[in-house]
Amino acid sequence: MITQAKNPENKQLDKVEVSKIQEEQVNLELASFNNELTDDGQNLKIAQIAAPWFSIPPRDYGGTEAVISNLSEELVNQGHNVTLFASGDSKTRGELKSYIETSLSMQKIPWTNYLEAEYHMINSFREIAHNPHKYDIVHTHLSSASDLIILKLASQIAVPHICTIHSNFPFDRRENYVGEGDKYYFTWADNTPLIAISDRAKENMMRDSQLPLNLIGVIPHGLPDNHFVQGEISPKRNLVWIGRIVKDKGTKYAIEAAIKTKTKIILAGIVDNYLSDHIDYFYQEILPLIEAHPDYVEYIGPVSNEQKIELLKSSYCFLNPIQWEEPFGLVMIEAMACGCPVISFNRGAAKELIKPGINGDFAASVDEMVAKIESVGNNIDRKQMVKDTWNNYSVKTMAKRYVLKYQEVINFYQKLGYSQSIQTKSL
C-alpha cells in the first residue's frame, strides 16, 4: 500500500520535553533483560526510515537499501505492520510514505547536497511525532554523514527508537577532511539503542567513535529465500566481482588475479560520478586493464538483483580483495547463497563470514589468491555451502532477532514509564 505523504504548510516538527527519568544515562544491556523478555507473538507497528538517496529496494547498487528492503518485507511476512519511509520510487508490501518522488541518485543529486535528504527525514519524523499511536517503534539506519540528522529528530519523538549502524566511524568525513559532526550529533543519542551488523563492526565502533555508544547487540544481515539457489549448481569457469568500483573494494586486484590465471572475470557494479577519486580510479587504473585484456576482463555495468543472482550462480569463484575494514560485506553471503565460493582478503567482517574449505578461503596477496582459485573452485561442496548460508544468514532469522530487540526496547521504556515521561507540544 502506497501513501503519498503530505507536508503540512508552516507546520514545524514537534518539540519534546523530556522528563528527568529520560535524561539519565540509559544502558540497555542484553543480559539484564533476557529473563524478562518474552516473545508473545504480538504484531508490532514498525516505522522503517530509509534515506532517500536510493530506492528501496535499490535498482542496482545499494547494500544498506537491500538490507532495509529484505528486513521490511520479512517483517510483513511475519505479520507485523510496517510503514516504510523512503523515496517514492520504492516498493513494499507494507505502507510506503514518501516526501520525495524520485530517489536522489536517480535525480543525479551530488552526495554533498544534503537539503533534499534532510527534507525527507524531517517530514518522516514529523509524521511520527504527530501520530505516535500509529507506531510502536522507529527503526533508523545510519550509513552516511547525511543520516546523522536522524539522531536529533529521533530524540524529539514520543516513540521508542532503535538504530542500526551500517558503516564505520567517523561519518563526518569528506575526502581528506574529518570533522567533529559525529561528536555533536551523538549528543542526541546518548541513550539510543544501537545495533552493529558484525562483531568486527562492533569492535571498530567502540574503538573509532570515541563516544559512549549504547550498543545493545549484533545482528548480521540476512537474505530472502528466493536468493538461495535451488537444485543443481553448474558453474562456468569465469570469476566474478560485484560492487562499487573504488580502491577500498579492491577491483584492480581482482582483475590482476584473473589476468595472472588467464581466467575471465566479469565485473559488475557502478562508478560514482560525483566523487573525483572514484572517477580517477576507474579511468586511470581499471579501464586501461579492461581495454588491454579483453579476453580476461569484461565490465557489464550495474546489474539488478535478478541479474546479480544469475551471474553469481553461474560463476566459479567470487574474488573479494577488499582494502578496508568492511562492517559486513553483503555481497559475500549473496555469492555463497548462489553457490559461488568466496576468496577474500582477511579484512573487516570477512573472518566472520568465510569458513575456509566450507564456503571459500582467505588470501593475503594477489599471488596467494591466484594460487587458491583452482582448489576453492573445485573442492567446495556448493550445495552444502548454500544450505549452511541459509542456516546462518536467512532473512527470517534476521527479522526475528530484530523483533526481539524491538520488544526489548519497548518493554524497557514501558517499564520506565516512557510514554508518561514525555509531553509533545506543537510549536
Tens-place pLDDT, residues 93-109: 999 999 999 999 999 99
How many of the other CB atoms lie within 10 Å of CB of 110? 12
Q: What is the pLDDT of residue 14?
A: 41
Q: Which three cell numbers stand for residue 364?
A: 593475503
Of how many residues is the chain composed?
427
Q: What angle do CA 121, 127, 129 make, to 5 degrees?
A: 100
Residue 419 makes CB contacts below 8 A (sequence gap 6+) with: 158, 413
**Domains of the chain (ranges, CATH numbers):** 2-222+395-425 (3.40.50.2000), 225-391 (3.40.50.2000)
Task: Name the one residue in this structure whose C-alpha cell is 581466467.
Answer: 263
- Ranges of H-type helices in 7-60: 20-23, 31-34
Q: What is the pLDDT of residue 20?
A: 33
Q: What is the pLDDT of residue 40?
A: 53
Helix (H, G, I), strand (E, B) or coil at 96: strand
Q: By mean pLDDT, which of 8-12, 85-89, 256-260, 304-308 is the weakest?
A: 8-12
Q: What is the pLDDT of residue 190?
A: 87
**Burial of residue 24 (number of CB atoms within 10 Å: 0-12, 13-18, 19+):** exposed
Q: What is the mean pLDDT of residues 350-356?
A: 97
Q: How far apart, in whole angstroms, are the C-alpha atoms of residue 421 and residue 419?
A: 5
Residue-wise pLDDT tens digits, 113-129: 889 999 999 999 999 99
Q: What is the pLDDT of residue 182?
A: 95
Whether pLDDT at 10 is above 60 = no
Q: Which of 85, 90, 68 minimizes the C-alpha distance to 5?
A: 85
Q: What is the mean pLDDT of residues 305-329?
A: 96
If residue 82 lies in a helix (H) or strand (E), which one and from where to where? strand 81-85
Q: Which of 391, 374, 385, 342 minimizes the C-alpha distance to 233?
A: 385
Q: What is the pLDDT of residue 422?
A: 38
Residue-wise pLDDT tens digits, 243-254: 999 999 999 999
Residue-wise pLDDT tens digits, 238-284: 999 999 999 999 999 999 999 999 999 999 999 988 788 899 999 99
- Going by pLDDT thresholds of 50, 70 and 90, the confidence category of residue 19 is very low
Q: By mean pLDDT, which of 3-17, 60-74, 239-253, 271-285 is the weakest?
A: 3-17
When the pLDDT of each residue in the chain is averaged and rounded to a whole number, the result is 88
Q: How far apart, in whole angstroms, are the C-alpha atoms of residue 39 and residue 400?
A: 10
Q: How far apart, in whole angstroms, are the C-alpha atoms of residue 222 and residue 387?
A: 13
Q: What is the mean pLDDT of residues 156-171?
A: 96
Global pTM? 0.87
| Start-to-end CA span in the chain (Å) | 31
Q: What is the pLDDT of residue 41?
A: 61
Q: What is the pLDDT of residue 12?
A: 41
Q: Which three cell numbers stand for residue 335?
A: 555469492
**Burial of residue 75 (number of CB atoms within 10 Å: 0-12, 13-18, 19+):** buried
Whether pLDDT at 170 is above 90 = yes
Residue-wise pLDDT tens digits, 411-425: 988 887 755 333 333
Compute CA distances 134 → 80, 131, 271, 381, whole Å: 12, 6, 40, 48
